[in-house]
Amino acid sequence: MKKRIVISYSGGKDSTLALNRLIRSNEWEIDSLLTTIIEDSRRTSAHGVRESLLEEQALSLGIPLRKVYIPAICSNEVYENIMKKSIDKIVQDGVNYMMFGDIHLQDVKEYREKILINTPINAIFPIWGEDPNDLIHEFLQSGFKTVVTCIDSAKLDASFIGRVIDDSFLNELPNNVDVCGEYGEFHTFVFDGPLFKKPIDFVVSTEITVTKDKYTNEDRYYHKDLISIT
Specify whether 82 is located in the same domain as 9: yes
Q: What mean pLDDT value characterizes the chain? A: 95
Domain total for the chain?
2
Q: Write the CATH number for 212.
A: 3.90.1490
Q: Helix or strand or coil: residue 152?
A: strand
Q: Is the pLDDT of residue 111 over 90?
A: yes
Q: Write the CATH number for 91.
A: 3.40.50.620
Any domain includes 119: yes
Any domain includes 132: no
- pLDDT of 47 reads 85
Specify whether 10 is located in the same domain as 107: yes
Which residues are CB-contacts of 20 (< 8 A; sequence separation ≥ 6)? 142, 144, 193, 194, 195
Task: Name the pLDDT band for 31 (thresholds 50, 70, 90).
Answer: very high
Specify whether 83 is located in the same domain as 169: no
Specify whether 111 is located in the same domain as 10: yes
- pLDDT of 115 reads 94
- Mean pLDDT over 22-50 rounds to 94
List C-alpha distances in Å: 215 to 41, 44, 73, 74, 105: 21, 20, 12, 13, 20
Q: Residues 156-182: pLDDT tens digits?
A: 999 999 999 999 999 999 999 999 999
d(CA 5, CA 85): 17
Structural domain of 12: 3-124
What is the number of other CB atoms lying within 10 angstroms of the CB of residue 208? Answer: 14
The strand ranges marked E within the chain are: 3-8, 28-38, 43-44, 65-70, 97-99, 122-124, 145-152, 186-192, 202-212, 219-228
Strand partners, 159: none
